[in-house]
Amino acid sequence: MKKILLIAAALLAVTAAQAQQWEPLFNGKNLKGWKQVAGGARYEARDGMIVGIASDTRRNSFLATRRDFGDFILEFDFMTEGINSGVQLRSHKDDERGVVYGYQFEIDPAPRAWTGGIYDEARRMWLYRMTANEPARVAYHDGWNSARIECVGNSIRTWVNGIPCANLLDDADAAGFIALQVHAVGEDMLGSRVCWKNIRILTQDVQKYRTPTPAPEINNVANTLSEAELADGWQLLFDGVTAEGWQSARPAMRGRFPHEGWSIEDGVLWVHAGDGGESANGGDIITTRKFRDFILKVDFKLTEGANSGIKYFVDPFMNKGQGSAIGCEFQLLDDEHHPDAKLGVKGNRTLGSLYDLIPAEHGSWERDNTIDGWSTAVIVVKGKHVEHWLNGHKLLEYERDNQMWNALVAYSKYRDWPGFGNSPDGFILLQDHGFQVFFRNIKLKEL
Amino acid sequence: MKKILLIAAALLAVTAAQAQQWEPLFNGKNLKGWKQVAGGARYEARDGMIVGIASDTRRNSFLATRRDFGDFILEFDFMTEGINSGVQLRSHKDDERGVVYGYQFEIDPAPRAWTGGIYDEARRMWLYRMTANEPARVAYHDGWNSARIECVGNSIRTWVNGIPCANLLDDADAAGFIALQVHAVGEDMLGSRVCWKNIRILTQDVQKYRTPTPAPEINNVANTLSEAELADGWQLLFDGVTAEGWQSARPAMRGRFPHEGWSIEDGVLWVHAGDGGESANGGDIITTRKFRDFILKVDFKLTEGANSGIKYFVDPFMNKGQGSAIGCEFQLLDDEHHPDAKLGVKGNRTLGSLYDLIPAEHGSWERDNTIDGWSTAVIVVKGKHVEHWLNGHKLLEYERDNQMWNALVAYSKYRDWPGFGNSPDGFILLQDHGFQVFFRNIKLKEL
């Protein structure tokens, strides 16, 4: 019996050592440990809550912790009287601009229902829109809601009422304050309240207490593959530092990278500005190997008036003359400022179109899911079926290597290239069209 | 007991009355009842066989029955030493040309293996190619084979070694002689033999003794539906006599048939020759109702240099101006003699093409399955999927109402017609392009 008691005592000791060391961030009585760092909203401790009262029509207001936090798990309950709000994570004050910037756990009572998403306040804006996790848009409801946020290393994950909402990998900030936002409001909403309570934080052994089933992931750490991406079979086609995996598309320069026309800096691969000619400066670059069935993701950023393209099924030996190597092209174009957007047939030379063949379907969502001017092109190839996506929206799809495809090609610029687009595989190409264009996060999954 | 015996006797009597009354056509000893009516081959009665010996390099030879036969079931065994042969049915002698003409049960030891098919000797040539019944091409073998032929009314059906081979409906000849052919041969085959034995015929109650499971049917009786076609859901869009079911495509002439530009004679609907203008003479005609999913079969015969077309998904109200009504077109063109075959893009205006959009795949088989200059166009529409067939061969297929279709249309003549080809249904049209063109056997099956 004594022995059993000893064992029980030992087990209790272990359990105690493993117990989660939660620390309240709000004492329930006053705002000790907090400090208003921006905006004119009023914050009060009342009835065990921190109450933020909308009082500023111009500036967002923030009540920040006096301490900074790096890796942590944060839990709190929140309630808003219809106004937009949020909780800053690892954030900072920009004294020059007089604003708070950094990660924000979104509180969004509007019909869009993006509560639980991650916004980069006063910096890059949306990092994790809830369009990336549609089912979780039902998580938020009127009245009190519970939030859980896990910040560990590059990972920020959120839950609302137990439902996984966001799962972001981002490396902009490793630590900073936590702050309660009361958004600037219209005159009609002055006096509306946002309330928080039961605010507690865990900073010890956070890795151990992470929730094992997060939301779908967005990896915003440049030129890396997350564990989930690796497990899903993704590979990097650009390592962020070297030109490995790429070569000139010019047969005469096979195996060599045209450093005279392309640069790699700060994790970005970019083509130099030239006179706007097709492959006239450094020339196009292609992968060092061919690909057959794949999903290709490329983040790109255009300069004003720029023209470039991502080609696939490329045969670099087909075009013996000047100009770009031959292949199907996901057109990259500043539609607003480059004249080619108006040329071609019914828009088949606009951004995301299959160049000179199939017009992209454009929509008001064109700028959805962009971050800091970066867009994401996705090309899906599965046998004869091909899709073009831009920022999470499907622009077009087609079936190649059939009579209709050949009939369409016969009408286009490509009419004289034998079997255009019908090869089962080919190189992937980034185009030099004489405009400065930036690329990063070039990832491919073979299917 | 006596009663039972009486019943048994009565049954025997009935059975006897129903017994098949086979009559030998060859007595096994000499050629009594037969007469050589053409060619220089030698025929002999020997060893219970009729032996035909190839002796003519120029003319086909025939040993014919002295009697004519109309409805009958004929059986015989045959063997050929590698030379083409056949057995004439309901045939006749053309004294002027010195030839035998009419239906022929084909004996074809060549690799093509069309034994059991039906050829119209010295007249329309092939009526039932064995391409219409591929599995039966294995029926014939070297050495002795058995044949069964059932001629009843418009129906001629054949079996080789018990395997159903041909099943033809044709109304050219109701009666005539039976004749054994020895084909004209090259010098190297002179002396080769074709042998027949056990030749017997049934002429009483033949309807009753028909085999219930014939080969796939070819209905060559103009503007009729066979029982099999009716059971399969086919309808006639042209009754062979009146313009019922058709009207002018011109909105102003709605409900009226343009007799001034179209005629119906001898079971043929034909458009008059004009100056080659598009819908400038009598104008196009359309069905009186729309069709959605269907198989359309149209027999057509072009005059030299002719241009016409079969359109579908036609909206007669779309084109308010001159010219043809708007719809997808199965192009009808004498590719050899009309210049439009060389125009358009990569052959997309040739016979059978989807006009100005998708070129037909042409082949050496172009004239397969034609009878007497008549070809058969088939258009299959199932939702967004469409196929064009010519004489049993698929020329092209496509999927409409998608981005690739719209991109293709945007390059074509049809670029300015809104939603071209995307309607779920429409009228069927026969085009007046100012050339004489003949139509018959216009049949449609709704899907």
Residues B266-320: tens digit of each pLDDT: 999 999 998 888 888 899 999 999 999 999 999 999 999 999 999 999 999 998 8
3-state class of B439 per DSSP? strand
Torsion of the alpha carbons at A181, A185, A190 and A192, rounded to the nearest 10: -50
The closest CB to that of A407, out of B357, B406, B410, belongs to B357
Residue B312 has a pLDDT of 98
Element spanning B150, H or E: strand B145-152
**Predicted pLDDT of residue B276:** 81
Task: Say whether B403 and A358 touch across the interface (CB within 8 A).
Answer: yes
Tens of pLDDT along B312-350? 999 999 988 888 999 999 999 999 999 999 999 999 999
Which residues in B have their CB inside 8 Å of a CB on A? 345-346, 348, 357-359, 361, 396-399, 402-408, 410-412, 415
Query: Residue type at B224?
Result: T
Candidate from A204-213, A271-280, B179-188 with smallest mean pLDDT: A271-280
Residue A432: which residues within 8 A CB-CB, separation 6 or more? A258, A261, A262, A271, A272, A274, A278, A279, A280, A281, A282, A283, A284, A285, A308
Identify the helix (H) or strand (E) that includes residue A165.
strand A163-169
Give the pLDDT of residue B68. 98
Name the amino acid, one letter, at A93.
Answer: K
> Testing the interface with B: which of A345, A403, A406 to mutate, by most B Cβ within 10 A?
A403
State the DSSP code for B273: P
Q: How far is A246 from chain B (nearest CA, A)?
A: 32
Q: Distance, in angstroms, between A404 CA and closest chain B CA?
A: 6
pLDDT at B179: 98
- Taking CB atoms and an 8 Å limit, are B408 and A407 in contact across chains? yes
Q: What pLDDT, on the 0 to 100 scale, is given for residue B7? A: 58
The yes-or-no verdict on residue A246 having pLDDT over 90 is: yes
- Report pLDDT for A15: 52
**A167 to chain B, minimum CA–CA distance in Å?**
34
Going by their DSSP bridges, the two strands A393-399 and A385-390 should be labelled as antiparallel
Contact B271, B282 (CB under 8 A): yes
* A12-63 pLDDT, tens digit each: 545 545 688 999 999 999 999 999 999 999 999 999 999 999 999 999 999 9
CA-nearest of B305, B300, B306, B395 to B357 is B395
Neighboring chain B residues of A412 at a CB cutoff of 8 Å:
411
Is 90 exceeded by the pLDDT of residue A367? Answer: no
**How many beta-carbon pairs under 8 angstroms link A with B?**
64
Mean pLDDT of A133-142: 96
Of B348, B359, B404, the CB nearest to A398: B404
Q: What pLDDT, in 10s, does the model give residues A346-362?
A: 999 999 999 999 999 99
Residue, of B23 and A275, whose pLDDT is higher: B23
Cα-Cα-Cα-Cα dihedral sign, residues A83, A89, A93, A97: negative
Spatial distance between the Cα atoms of A128 and A114, rounded to a whole number of angstroms: 9
Cross-chain Cβ contact B359/A411 below 8 Å: no
Q: Which of A346, A358, A410 minimises the CB distance to B404? A: A358
Mean pLDDT estimate for chain A: 94
Query: What's residue A277's pLDDT?
Result: 83
What single DSSP character describes residue A70?
A: S
Residues of A at the B interface (Cβ-Cβ below 8 Å)? 345-346, 348, 357-359, 361, 396-399, 402-408, 410-412, 415
Residue in A345, A359, A410 closest to B345 by CB: A410
Determine the residue among B358, B393, B400 to mutate to test chain A binding: the one whose Cβ has the most chain A Cβ atoms within 10 Å.
B358
A398 to B398: CB separation less than 8 angstroms, yes or no: no
Residues of B in contact with A398 (CB under 8 A): 403-404
Q: Residue A30 contacts by C-beta under 8 Å, 6 or more apart in sequence?
A: A45
pLDDT at B126: 94
B211 phi and psi, to 5 degrees?
Answer: -75, 135
Buried b vs exposed e over B276-297: b needs ≥16 C-beta within 10 Å? eebbbbbbbbbbeebbeebbbb
Q: pLDDT band at A366, cuts 50/70/90?
A: confident
Q: Over 60: is that where the pLDDT of A292 sits?
A: yes
What pairs with residue A85 in β-bridges? A107, A182
- In chain B, what residues touch A411 (CB-CB under 8 Å)? 345, 408, 411-412
Report phi then psi at A403, rounded to 5: -65, -35
- Side-chain half-sphere CA neighbours of B447 within 13 A: 13
Q: B344: distance to nearest CA of chain A, Å?
A: 10
Identity of the residue in B361, B408, B415 whose CB atom sits nearest the CB atom of A404:
B408
Q: Count the alpha carbons within 13 Å of A185 in the hemisphere toward its beta carbon.
A: 23
Q: Hey, are the CB atoms on A403 and B346 less than 8 Å from each other?
A: no
Q: Which of A345, A398, A399 sits opposite B411 (nearest CB)?
A: A345
Q: Which residues of A touch B411 (CB under 8 A)?
A: 345, 408, 411-412
- Chain B residues whose beta carbon lies within 8 Å of the beta carbon of residue A386: none
Among B396, B403, B410, select the one facing A403 at the smallest CB separation. B396
Taking CB atoms and an 8 Å limit, are A415 and B346 in contact across chains?
yes
Q: Identify all chain A residues contacting B404, using CB atoms and an 8 Å cutoff.
A: 358, 398-399, 404-405, 408
Candidates B399, B408, B415; nearest CB to A408: B408
Q: Which residue has the tokens 């117990």?
A: A19
B413, closest residue in chain A (CA to CA): A411
Q: How many Å apart are CA B332 and CA B430, to the nearest integer?
A: 10
Please give the average per-residue pLDDT across A141-167, as a whole number.
Answer: 98
Q: Which residues of A touch B396 (CB under 8 A)?
A: 403
Interface test with B, best of A355, A356, A358 (most B CBs within 10 A): A358
Q: What is the mean pLDDT of residues A237-257?
A: 95
pLDDT at residue B2, as a whole number: 59
Q: What is the pLDDT along chain B (447 residues), one digit of tens a residue?
A: 556 655 555 555 455 456 889 999 999 999 999 999 999 999 999 999 999 999 999 999 999 999 999 999 999 999 999 999 999 999 999 999 999 999 999 999 999 999 999 999 999 999 999 999 999 999 999 999 999 999 999 999 999 999 999 999 999 999 999 999 999 999 999 999 999 999 999 999 999 999 999 999 999 999 999 999 999 999 999 999 999 999 999 998 989 999 999 999 999 999 999 888 888 889 999 999 999 999 999 999 999 999 999 999 999 999 888 889 999 999 999 999 999 999 999 999 999 999 999 999 998 777 778 888 899 999 999 999 999 999 999 999 999 999 999 999 999 999 999 999 999 999 999 999 999 999 999 999 999
Q: Is the Cβ pair B399, A399 closer than 8 Å?
A: yes
